[in-house]
Amino acid sequence: MTDVIVIGAGVTGCAIARELSRYDLDVLVLEREEDVCCGTSKANSAIIHAGFDAVPGTWKARLNVEGNRMMDALSKELDFPFQRNGSLVLCFSEDQMGGLEELYQRGLANGVPGLRIVKGKEIHEIEPNLSEDVYAMLLAPTGGIVCPFKMTIALAENAFENGVQFRFQTKVKNISRKNITGKMVSGVPDGYLVQTADEEYECRAVVNAAGVYADVFNNMVSSHALHITPRRGEYILMDKKAGSFVSHTVFQQPTRLGKGILVTPTVHGNLLAGPTAEDISDKEATNTTAEGLSQVMEKARLSASRIPLNMAITSFSGLRACEEKGDFVLGEASDAPGFFNAAGIDSPGLSSAPAIGVLLAGQIAEKLHAGKKTDFHAQRKDIPCVAESSPEEIAALIASDPAYGNVICRCETVTEGEIVNAIRRPLGARSLDGVKRRTRAGMGRCQAGFCSPKVMDILARELGVSPLTLTKSGGSSRLLVGMTKK
C-alpha cells in the first residue's frame, strides 16, 4: 500500500510528483511507457506561453500565468534550459485588429505584464524576416522557450531523489474503490485498488495525469464522465543554421482548434514550425502526413515568406489531450473522494505544469493531513554539456573522466561521458530515445545516422545486456533482429 499513486509520467505527472515529494507521503508514479516524457510531453512546441490567449477566469488562464512566473526560479533550481525570448501574434490587415485587441485585453485581464501592440516600421525592426504583409502584432515579452524533455526529466529526477518511486512499462488496467484502512468515509471506502497487468496496488489517493487516456480512468470511478479527443499536431524542425531566422516565437491569430502555426527558435538553436490541429479518434496515431506537413509549410510562409524550409532535418507529430469543455479538469472528483484529476491538459499545459503541481499537491496533502518534510532537497544538476562548455570546463571534465573527450554524436558534439552519465543517473536512460532526450545524441543534422551504433554499444555495455535486446523507445521497438555470421 502507498499513500498516493500518480498515473502518468509526463510533465504534468512529474510536476505533481515533485511537489508531493515535499510532503510526508509515500508516492508512486505508474507509467505505461519505458521512460518519462514519452507522450504529449515529448512532442510539442516547447513554448512557455505568456498567458494572453486563455479566457479570463479559466484554469488555463490562471495556471498559465502562474506557471510562467515560476519558470525562471524552477529552471535554475533544476538546471534545465529556459529562455524568455518573447512572443509575437501577427495581424495581416485592419480587419483582423479586433482579434488582436481581444488578445491584448485578455492578457491584461489575466495579469500578463508588458503587453503592447506594435505597428509600422517597428515590426521589422523587432523581427526583420517577418512577411511584408504583417500589418500589426501583439508583443508579449514574458513568453519563453524551454526544453520539454529536460524539464520533465529534471522534475522526475528531483522527485525520485526526494523519495518518489517510479514504475515504468506498467500499464494501468483498472481502478476501483477499496476499503484499505477499515474506516469508511461517509459510507464510502477510503482508498483505491489500482490494477496493472502484473500487480495490484492499494492507495489512499489517485492522481489521474494520464494524458489522452485520462478520460478512461476518470470514467472508471466517477459518474461525471469526461471525453478527451486527441488533437494531432505536426511539426517541421530545421537545422541550426536556420535557428537565428527569428528571435521571438511568432504566432498567427488563434482559432477554435488552437494557437495556429507558429515559427520559433528552440533553446538548442534550431528553428521549429507547426503545429497543425487535427482532431482524431486514435489515441496512438502520432504519424506525420503529407497533407499536414504541406499545411505547416504553407501557413509558416504567411508569417515569414523566406523561412528556410529547405533546411528541414526532421518532422514529427504529437497528440494534445483536448477535453470537450475546453478547459483543464483539475482537482478531486466530486463523487470519487481521493481521486484527483489533472485531465484535459492540452495547450498551455507545458507552461502550466509547475503551477498544476503546486495546486494538486496542496489539495492532496490537505486531504491526507500530510505535513511538510524538513529534509526536502530542491536542487538538481543536469548532465554536463560539452557542446556548451568553455575550454577550461571541458579540460576539467576530461581530467575527471577521459570519456568526456570521446565524441560520439558529431552533429551535437555529445561525448561518451555524457551518454554514460545519462544511463547511470537516477531514472537513467534505457533506450536510444532515452539517451537522445537526455543528451541530444541523435537530434542533429544526420538524425542519428552516424551515432546510433556507438550509442547502442554504450547502452549494452552499461546495462549489461545483449545488443539484441535494445530498443528505440521501449516495448517492441527492437533495433536489431539478429547477428550476422563472422
Q: Which residues are catalytic?
A: 49
- CA atoms within 13 A of residue 364's CA, in its CB half-sphere: 34
Contact 413, 387 (CB under 8 A): yes
Contact 139, 444 (CB under 8 A): no
* Calculated CA dihedral for residues 354, 355, 358, 361, nearest 10 degrees: -90
Q: Which ranges constitute the DSSP H helices of 227-372?
A: 290-303, 349-367
Q: What is the number of other CB atoms lying within 10 angstroms of the CB of residue 452?
A: 20
Residue 222, C-beta contacts closer than 8 angstroms, at least 6 positions apart: 333, 334, 335, 336, 339
* Cis preceding-peptide flag for 113 (omega within 30 of 0): no
Ramachandran region, residue 464 (left: φ > 0; alpha: ψ -120 to 50; beta: rest): left
Determine whether 309 is exposed, middle or buried from the number of CB atoms within 10 Å of its CB (0-12, 13-18, 19+): middle
Residue of 409, 408, 389 whose CA lies nearest to 399: 389
Q: How far apart are CA 474 and CA 208, in angstroms?
A: 23
Q: How far apart are CA 107 and CA 114, in angstroms?
A: 10
Q: How far apart are CA 324 and CA 256, in angstroms?
A: 12
Taking the chain, what is the end-to-end CA distance rounded to the nearest angstrom?
Answer: 52
Name beta bridge partners: 88.
139, 250
Beta-strand (E) ranges in 220-288? 228-238, 249-252, 262-265, 271-274, 278-279
Q: Which cell numbers hold the place of 262?
A: 507558429
